[in-house]
Amino acid sequence: ITDWGNCMQKLKTPADVLIKVEQFDPQNCMEATAQKADGLIAGETEESIATKSLEAVIIYKWTRSMVDKVKSGGGLKA
């Protein structure tokens, strides 16, 4: 994570993040999308992210859990 603030600005408001998280369904997620997300967070840990933003840790943990659900058979095939 190089610029958490920029990520948040792109989502407009923290409420937008919550809406996206709430509406996400791992069974309707393409495996390729989950793999891309996995690649984006692969070099990070909760500890490395916490040094930048405690809010980002929550998103990291949620992303990790959704990637795992999609990989375990919950995602759509291409």
Percent of the chain with pLDDT over 70: 81
> What pTM, to 2 d.p., does this model score?
0.75
Q: Which pLDDT score is estimated for 54?
A: 86
Kindly report the number of other CB atoms within 10 A of residue 34's CB atom: 21
pLDDT band of residue 63 (cuts 50, 70, 90) is very high
Contacts of residue 69, defined as CB under 8 A and 6 or more positions apart, other chains included, come to 26, 75
Q: Which pLDDT score is estimated for 44?
A: 93
